C-alpha cells in the first residue's frame, strides 16, 4: 500500500472507532519510519510540535510493553501503563513504519473501562488485517 492510501485508511479507521465508541478514542496518531533517527512521516492531532519534542519520553511505556516481541506488518500492542501524552498503541504498518495512536486526555485503562471499547476495536483489527495483507511501502 502506498502512503497516501494508508493515511486515508487510518483516518477512516479512526472515524469508525469514534462512532462505535461514542467519543474520541485516539485524538492523535502518527506514522513513524524507523531508522536513526526515526522520522515522522505523518501526524494528525492537536500537538504536532510537542509530539516531536517529547517523542522519546512518550514512547517509553509502549516500548516496555512491546520489547519482548518482534513485530510483523499488522501486529499491534497497547500500552496499559500509558497516561497523559504517553503513546497508547502501536501497529506495525510495514518493514520500516509504525502507526502510533494516543488519547492525550485518557489512559488505556480509562478507555477500556467503557464497554463500547470492545466494539471500537473492530476497525483497528480490520486495519491490522489489511496491513498484514498489503503492508505500507514508502517508495
Q: pTM (2 decimals)?
A: 0.92
CATH class, domain 3-131, is alpha beta
Pairing of strands 97-102, 89-94: antiparallel
Q: Give the C-alpha separation, 96 to 69, whole Å.
A: 16
Q: How far lies 4's CA from each of 19, 32, 139, in Å? A: 23, 14, 11
Burial of 22: CB neighbours in 10 Å, binned 0-12, 13-18, 19+: exposed
Residues of the chain with pLDDT under 50: none
pLDDT of amino acid 84: 85
> What proportions of the chain, in percent to the nearest 5, are helix, strand and coil?
45, 20, 35
pLDDT of amino acid 99: 96
Amino acid at each position: 500500500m502506498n502512503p497516501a492510501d494508508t493515511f486515508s485508511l487510518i483516518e477512516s479507521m479512526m472515524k469508525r472507532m469514534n462512532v462505535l465508541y461514542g467519543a474520541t478514542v485516539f485524538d492523535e496518531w502518527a506514522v513513524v519510519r524507523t531508522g536513526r533517527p526515526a522520522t515522522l512521516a505523518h501526524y494528525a492531532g492537536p500537538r504536532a510540535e510537542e509530539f516531536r519534542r517529547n517523542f522519546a519520553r512518550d514512547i517509553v511505556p509502549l516500548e516496555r510493553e512491546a520489547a519482548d516481541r518482534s513485530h510483523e506488518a499488522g501486529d499491534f500492542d497497547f500500552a496499559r501503563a500509558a497516561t497523559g501524552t504517553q503513546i497508547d498503541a502501536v501497529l506495525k504498518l510495514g518493514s520500516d513504519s509504525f502507526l502510533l495512536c494516543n488519547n492525550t486526555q485518557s489512559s488505556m485503562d480509562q478507555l477500556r473501562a467503557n464497554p463500547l471499547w470492545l466494539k471500537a476495536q473492530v476497525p483497528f483489527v480490520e486495519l491490522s488485517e489489511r496491513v498484514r495483507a498489503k503492508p505500507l511501502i514508502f517508495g
